[in-house]
């Protein structure tokens, strides 16, 4: 029988992306409250284009 075990170093990395994802979602909700739908969609498309240019 195999026992699954993890170390603290393996577990500690998961809250960092989760916190960034949470901040991103909260920021999107805040922006959407002040921007109309077409303006928000343009901002999202610019995000995709800028990500493409980085990589």
What confidence score (pLDDT) does residue 54 get? 59
At residue 8, φ and ψ (nearest 5 deg) are: -65, -35
For 18-50, the pLDDT digits (tens) are: 888 888 888 888 888 898 888 888 888 877 776
Quote the pTM value. 0.56
Q: Domain limits of the chain? A: 22-55
Is residue 12 pLDDT above 80, yes or no? Answer: yes
Q: How confident is the model at residue 8 (pLDDT cuts 50, 70, 90)?
A: confident
């Amino acid at each position: 029988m195999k026992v699954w075990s993890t170390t603290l170093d393996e577990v500690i990395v998961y809250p960092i992306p989760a916190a960034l994802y949470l901040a991103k979602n909260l920021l999107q909700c805040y922006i959407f409250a002040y921007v109309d739908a077409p303006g928000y969609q343009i901002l999202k498309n610019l995000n995709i284009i800028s990500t493409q240019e980085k990589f």
